Each structure stands twice: as C-alpha cells, then as structure tokens.
Amino acid sequence: MARAMEDYLRPGIPTTPFCPGCGHGILLGLILRSIHALGIDIREMLFVSGIGCAAWIPSPHFKADTLHTTHGRAIAFATGAKLYNPRLRVMVISGDGDLSSIGGNHLIHAARRDIDLKVVCANNMIYGMTGGQVAATTPVGSTTSTTPLGSTERPFDLCRLVEGAGGRYVARHAVTQPLALIESIKKSLSFTGFTFIEVLSPCPTQFGSKNLLESAPKMMEWLMENCVPREEAEGLSPEELEGKIITGEWSDVAVSTG
C-alpha cells in the first residue's frame, strides 16, 4: 500500500516541508488513499490551494494538475476552472486561515452556489507558517504570538458556517480518526455538488509549544481525548461536552461510495 502511493506523487520532489509532528502529512496520505480506494485516476483531478502550510499538501506533491494560488482565493480560482471545464474533478485543499478568514467570503458563496468543488480544510487552529498568530478558529483562552494573555474572541464553527451557507455535505474529523476521514473524503468525491470537510490537524510547532502541548504525541492525545463523534455526543450532558470538539457528518443527502 505504501509503495502504491508513489504512483500519486510527483517525481523529483524529495520531501514534504511539514514540521515533525504536523498532521498535514497524515492528511496528505489519507487523501491519496481515498482517491486510490475509489480507483480515480489522479491525473484527471485538479488540486487548488491557497497560501499557508496546508496549501503545500497537493502542491507540489500530487502528480496531477495543481494550482497554488494567492492567499484566500483558492475556491475562487477553482470556481473558474470548474465552470469552464466541468469534466475536471476539482479538490480544494487549504488551511483554516486561508479558507475561512482571508477567503471566508468565497467559502460561503461557493457553498451557496453549490458548485461541484471538494473542499478539504486542514484546521490547525493557528497561523502556522507565519509564526503562530491567533486565527478565526483558535479556541478561547489559547496563547498565540498575538494573544500572549490568551485569545478572547470566539472561534468559528466551520461546519455550521458552511452548512448555514448551503453546503449539502459537511463533515469534521481529526487526523486521529483516519478511517472515518477516508470514508468522508470518498463520500465527498462521489457526490456531485459542494462538499466541505474540516480536518483537525495538530500543529505542535506553533500551537502546541505555546499551549503546554509541546510534543507531537501530546497533541495527538489531546485530539483523541477531545474529539467526540456525533453519535457519542448525543448521549452526553452540556457539562460533559464543555471544551469538546464534535466530529462526524452533517449532510441532508445520502452518499454512496460504491
């Protein structure tokens, strides 16, 4: 299986740029495994990304058409390519800051248009590449390089945001939930219309180091302890759910991956 993934990688690109313990490498592998499982020829796909760590997942690593755009505009570039050539299978892979902050307007409008884009948002809850500044997704109270006393603004619930804008297939998983995540990516690729998958991906370098989770295993443990699948969450009290992240699917359509 590991060797089989080499067919999906661009030759001559030696290593990924991700820090030790970053979740983006796991996500990279899980996206390729989903494509492999569906038997899709990756060369028929277009991957569009913006600016930030997550934008490097497809570009330059995937052996497919890749469009690495300006900060925030990945969905808008993808909209143009998809509308002109509907035969392209277009996946947008970028970070939380890129897609929901500087590019937030394009995210909600693409969901409203229900344009056939597969958006995968790697959410590390911080601006990693630029040095660990607070993001629109940073949990309240977190220390970042621009909130030395702890962040005070409430973070976006990205799935509810996209669902509210009209997104018909919306899901959230952590990279610590690989099987559920693969299933969701497969579903999104099998679905015609706008899909959004938020992937919680740890950033030990910037988020962990400032919030007493400095080692990669600690961040993974934190995700495993705090991510609660939707079905389990239904049986828990509001007190028990305090500070937890609910994962799962929010979709009004049945999607078959067969």
Question: Contact 46/35 with Cβ under 8 angstroms?
Answer: no
CB-hemisphere CA count at 13 Å for 177?
26
Query: Hey, how many other C-beta atoms are within 10 angstroms of the C-beta on 148?
Result: 9
* Residue 168 φ then ψ, to 5°: -95, -25
Residue placing its CB nearer to other proteins in the complex, 68 or 218: 68
> Any contact of residue 94 with other proteins (CB under 8 A)?
no
Residue placing its CB nearer to other proteins in the complex, 85 or 192: 85
Smallest gap from Cβ 16 to other proteins, in A, equals 13
Residue from 13, 38, 236, 241 touching other proteins (CB under 8 A): that is: 13
Residue placing its CB nearer to other proteins in the complex, 24 or 210: 24
Structure tokens at 77: 């570039």
Looking up tokens 């006393």 gives 149
Is residue 166 exposed (0-12), middle (13-18) or buried (19+ Cβ within 10 Å)?
middle
> Any contact of residue 130 with other proteins (CB under 8 A)?
no
Number of residues forming the site for other proteins (CB under 8 A): 35
Smallest gap from Cβ 42 to other proteins, in A, equals 9
Spatial distance between the Cα atoms of 232 and 94, rounded to a whole number of angstroms: 29
Binding residues among 26-85 for other proteins as defined by CB under 8 A:
43-44, 46, 48, 59-60, 63-70, 72-73, 75-85
Residue placing its CB nearer to other proteins in the complex, 55 or 174: 55
Residue from 1, 3, 12, 254 touching other proteins (CB under 8 A): that is: 12
> Any contact of residue 14 with other proteins (CB under 8 A)?
no
Smallest gap from Cβ 44 to other proteins, in A, equals 7
* Dihedral angle, C-alpha 170, 172, 178, 180, nearest 10 °: -50
Smallest gap from Cβ 117 to other proteins, in A, equals 11
Query: Hey, how many other C-beta atoms are within 10 angstroms of the C-beta on 98?
Result: 31
Binding residues among 142-171 for other proteins as defined by CB under 8 A:
none
> Any contact of residue 109 with other proteins (CB under 8 A)?
yes
Spatial distance between the Cα atoms of 144 and 151, rounded to a whole number of angstroms: 7
> Any contact of residue 105 with other proteins (CB under 8 A)?
yes
> Any contact of residue 88 with other proteins (CB under 8 A)?
yes
Residues that bind other proteins (CB under 8 A): 10, 12-13, 43-44, 46, 48, 59-60, 63-70, 72-73, 75-85, 87-88, 105-106, 109
